[in-house]
Amino acid sequence: MKRMLIFSAVLIFISLCGLAAFIFHLRHYAEQPAGLEPNDVVVDIPAGQPFKTTSQTLFKRNIIDSPFKFNLVARLKGYDKRLKAGEYSLCACMSPLQILEKLVKGEVKLYKLTIPEGLNIHQIAELIAEAGFSDKSNFIEAATNADLARKYGIDADSFEGYLFPETYYFPKNCRKSPPRLCRTRSGVRFSCAGCQGRGWSLTTPRAKNNCHCAKLTNIVQRSQRSAS
């Protein structure tokens, strides 16, 4: 009986030591990058994608070196159900924990759109088309829509002179749904559906008050139906 108790105690001790060693190893893995090269890799995470699929994608892109451990870290931190869909810029020089925190916070890759001061509607349309946010002719058609201008309280037949010069940063999904026009006290800014009515800007604060948005795609489609 005594031998059995000693054997059980030794077995429990060995198991606890093994568990402690595994936890220490997992913690080290979570804080250790898979590589040192700072080369960014763009990864697209669709909405509703299983976490294990995301782990396999990161592994195949050489961003992490163990999907199994990555899954465990995410589950222990409670991150596996909290990832936000989007396009991310990641690299192997980031630790698994840094990668997870970025995916949970939704720190997606942003595309720059700068509207300089003094440009007319046609010049702005060229910039937007070059950035891949909208077709040039569609934007001009919407920006010269007199009814839309009046909807935003502009006493003119177009948005000429009212489009706010600014530098914006939009995520990928805004390329799928072109920017909105957003009326503020200081002028008309751009926003987008993918940002829940917000556009990121590094030059001025985000518009918060008296902001009413209209989707350019809907306006263009309505104009095209009327023309046909």
Which structural domain, as residue segments, surrounds residue 44? 33-108
pLDDT of amino acid 200:
39
Within a domain: residue 172? yes
pLDDT of amino acid 183:
47
* In a shared domain, residues 152 and 220: yes
Within a domain: residue 13? no
* In a shared domain, residues 95 and 74: yes
pTM across the whole model: 0.64
Nearest-angstrom CA–CA distance, 178 and 116:
19
Q: Residue 44: which of 101, 85, 102, 79 has the closest Cα?
A: 85
Instruction: Report the chain's terminal Cα–Cα distance, integer Å.
Output: 94
Cα–Cα distances in angstroms (integers) from residue 27 to residues 14, 32, 73, 76, 123, in the given order: 20, 9, 8, 11, 53
Nearest-angstrom CA–CA distance, 34 and 16:
28
Within a domain: residue 9? no
Q: Which residues contact 111 (CB under 8 A, 6 or more apart)?
A: 131, 132, 169, 170, 171, 172, 174, 175
Chunked mean pLDDT (size 10), the chain, 228 residues: 66 67 76 87 93 96 93 93 93 95 92 84 87 81 84 80 75 58 50 44 33 33 40
Nearest-angstrom CA–CA distance, 171 and 42:
12
Within a domain: residue 40? yes
Residue 37: what are its φ and ψ, rounded to 5°?
-70, 125
- The last residue of a domain, from among 51, 83, 108: 108
* In a shared domain, residues 166 and 72: no
Q: Which residues contact 58 (CB under 8 A, 6 or more apart)?
A: 43, 64, 67, 70, 90, 99
Nearest-angstrom CA–CA distance, 153 and 128:
24
Cα dihedral across residues 147, 148, 149, 151: positive or negative:
positive
Residue 191 CA, chain-centre distance (Å), reads 14
Nearest-angstrom CA–CA distance, 91 and 194:
25
